Structure 1
Amino acid sequence: EIEPVALACCGYNSEHIIKIDPLGDDVSSQLFFSGVVGQGNEFPGHLTEVSHDIIKKCGGLPLAITITARHFKSQLLDGMQQWNHIQKSLTTSNLKKNPTLQGMRQVLNLIYNNLPHCLKACLLYLSIYKEDYIIRKANLVRQWMAEGFINSIENKVMEEVAGNYFDELVGRGLVQPVDVNCKNEVLSCVVHHMVLNFIRCKSIEENFSITLDHSQTTVRHADKVRRLSLHFSNAHDTTPLAGLRLSQVRSMAFFGQVKCMPSIADYRLLRVLILCFWADQEKTSYDLTSISELLQLRYLKITGNITVKLPEKIQGLQHLQTLEADARATAVLLDIVHTQCLLHLRLVLLD
């Protein structure tokens, strides 16, 4: 599937296609060992034999080696059982024959099945984002909290717990860091396209979420859609919505032109609403006064070079935790002080 795309990109001149070979045994081993114990540290001798077999079964694929190594790093003190399980579960043939599709899916599926339940939900949630989209840690943490994925642990507040979950996904190599501060704290990440493809498929299988974009004309889905992500760039893209039952949607993310945005009135049970607009004209506006009817709303994030009209009163949104508009807003929320659950507020008001 990759070669026809490469041919098309270079004008069907095969001389311009460079085929990248899988990593050799020595480089694969170095990458795996450094991923488990860190660069320059000694690898435990009793794990060497089983490790070489696992490395071989990764087929020289860097992403498979890195994610597998990061997983074992978190299991380093748990003895041989987990190592032997992965060793026996991986089959060399898939990664050798198809290192970019089925083989990688097999590795990710094994790692996913061994994740704690709390991290599974947090990982699947990333499927709502567009490919190569830079995801801010602060936004993601608040979205997880609004979704109800996070529980308080001892003396830690939920935001701290959620931050630890994000750091865990980074540490396991399931997301890739982008912005890192001077304290070596990861502030944002992206999801590798193979990981994104896997979690989107897994989200549909588990009826966790559905993502629709312009490339899809049909999609396999359950009767009740819980989380919906729409990536629409023109009005023709909206046709797949006709076959979905949307009355139970609790979370929606929209990436696209304002004119493609469906009516919010159809989503009365929304808890999370993420709107990333782009507009054909700078003076484009969008009426969001109907959010006052979303009584379960906990999180609202709006971005884009547009003007949004917010309701003057939101006192009915008693569960609202986050309201951020990285867009021009036309209203001052007169009763904002009465939203007792509000933790984060950012608005850019018009003069």
Structure 2
Amino acid sequence: MKLLQMSYAALSLPLKSCLLYLSVFREDYAIKKDPLIRVWIAEGFIPRKDTEGRGQQTREESISLWETGERYFNELIMRRLIQPVFNYNDDQAVGCTVHGLILHFIKSSQGKFVTFGADLSSGLFPGSMHTVRRLSLDRYDDQDQDVTLASAAVHLWKVRSITVLGGIEGVASTRPALTVSGKIEGTSLLPSFKLIRVLDLEDSDSLRSRHLKGIQGLVLLRHLGVAGTAIDKLPEEIGELGQLETLDLRRTTKLSILPASIAKQKMLAHLLIDGHVKVPKKILKMQGFEEVSTIGVDSKSKLHSVIDLMDRSEQLRVLGVRL
């Protein structure tokens, strides 16, 4: 523990925040690198230039943020604070895991940097001495199963991020999904979280389109992850999220088309969908994308739209196309 304390003390303040955020995940949970960096950026852990009043970031600023995130990730690996996960294509880490000893150290050092479902289910609701900034709910934790966002919403009005850990990929879950609706069926809880920046509900089986009602009120939201959920439609009001940078809709098999109002967003940089989802042409005319995947191309006109997107988007780093 003394060695860990020395290593932790040597980290810069932003890198300390990036490391502490990893306590959101359970031991040996496979954390994908790219989504992690996107959340680090959305949380503000990676310093950025003040773009208020200037609209979109420049290409240089966007690349700098991403490169800084990758540098932080690689530094944590080199310091042996996280364990890299590789694929079979090259020697570049595509993710990481956190050893149990490291995780224990992070949680003991964080000073309530992250609040867990177990804290809420045990009755330790935040008082004047404890403001919940980040909430992690694990559907594979027995204590978290008793937690519903409805029961905790009154205590979470200052929360900045909510992360729900879903099932393990490739393994069928027998656990019930966490409850995200209100006390009355169909009630949305989103208006309760005015200050939220990261909302990651990936693989939350109980999530339905009606639960996104009122999402336009989350004016500070930067990261919306609803991959692997049962939503079949996005509200038109989603276009009013002026700060949204990441929209992750992968593996939403019931979703067939995106609302054209998304084209109103000036800050959207990462649009992650599956190839079967129809994308209105107005969206493909947006210029601030850094990553778009996967666009289904089934006609010459759609192909020309994708080529135009490549031509206009100076910041584009990743483009996925399904022919």
TM-score scaled to structure 2, two decimals? 0.65
Partner of residue 13, structure 2: 117
- 1:114/1:259 CA distance change after superposition, 3 Å: closer
Partner of residue 127, structure 1: 23
Q: Partners in 2 of 1:339 and 1:242 — Cα distance? A: 31
- 1:107/1:237 CA distance change after superposition, 3 Å: farther
Q: In the alignment, does 2:161 pair up with 1:251?
A: yes
Partner of residue 163, structure 1: 70
Cα distance, 1:196 vs structure 2: 1.4
- Letter of the 1:238 partner, please give it: V
Q: Residues 273-327 of structure 1, C-alpha deviation per residue, up to 9 Å, x if partnerless?
A: 11123538xxx74532332221111011123253354212322111110001122
- Letter of the 1:211 partner, please give it: F
Unaligned runs of 5+ in 2: 50-59, 167-175, 182-188, 279-323
Cα distance, 1:149 vs structure 2: 1.3
TM-score scaled to structure 1, two decimals? 0.61
- Letter of the 2:97 partner, please give it: V
Q: In the alignment, does 2:179 pair up with 1:260?
A: yes
- Letter of the 1:230 partner, please give it: L
- 1:209/1:337 CA distance change after superposition, 3 Å: same
- Alpha-carbon contact 1:251-1:273 (below 8 Å) kept: yes
Unaligned runs of 5+ in 1: 1-104
Q: In the alignment, does 2:105 pair up with 1:198?
A: yes
Q: Secondary structure at the match of 2:228?
A: strand
Q: Partners in 1 of 2:237 and 2:72 — Cα distance? A: 35
* Greater C-alpha Rg: 1
Partner of residue 298, structure 1: 222
- 1:216/1:110 CA distance change after superposition, 3 Å: farther
Partner of residue 311, structure 2: none
Bigger shift: residues 131-140 or 330-339: 330-339
- Letter of the 1:210 partner, please give it: T
Q: Partners in 1 of 2:28 and 2:73 — Cα distance? A: 17
Partner of residue 141, structure 1: 37
- Alpha-carbon contact 1:232-1:260 (below 8 Å) kept: no
- Letter of the 1:185 partner, please give it: Q
- Percent of residue pairs bearing the same amino acid type: 33
Higher helix share: 1
- 1:178/1:325 CA distance change after superposition, 3 Å: same
Partner of residue 7, structure 1: none
Partner of residue 201, structure 2: 275
- 1:131/1:265 CA distance change after superposition, 3 Å: farther
Q: Secondary structure at the match of 2:214?
A: helix
Partner of residue 117, structure 2: 212
Query: Which of 223, 237, 247 is equivalent to 2:146?
Result: 237
Aligned residues: 242
Q: More relative contact order in 1 or in 2 (CA 8 Å, sep 6+)?
A: 2
Partner of residue 268, structure 2: 342
- 1:243/1:251 CA distance change after superposition, 3 Å: closer
Partner of residue 286, structure 2: none
Bigger shift: residues 131-140 or 219-228: 219-228
Cα distance, 1:169 vs structure 2: 0.6
Cα distance, 1:160 vs structure 2: 0.8
Q: Secondary structure at the match of 1:313?
A: helix
Q: Residues 78-101 of structure 1, C-alpha deviation per residue, up to 9 Å, x if partnerless?
A: xxxxxxxxxxxxxxxxxxxxxxxx
Q: Partners in 2 of 1:212 and 1:345 — Cα distance? A: 29
- Letter of the 2:138 partner, please give it: H
- 1:316/1:191 CA distance change after superposition, 3 Å: same
The ranges of structure 1 where at least 4 consecutive aligned residues each deviate by more than 3 angstroms after the TM superposition are 152-156, 180-183, 213-216, 218-222, 232-236, 239-244, 256-259, 348-351
Q: Residues 199-238 of structure 1, C-alpha deviation per residue, up to 9 Å, x if partnerless?
A: 12222x1x42212249962548543111111124588521
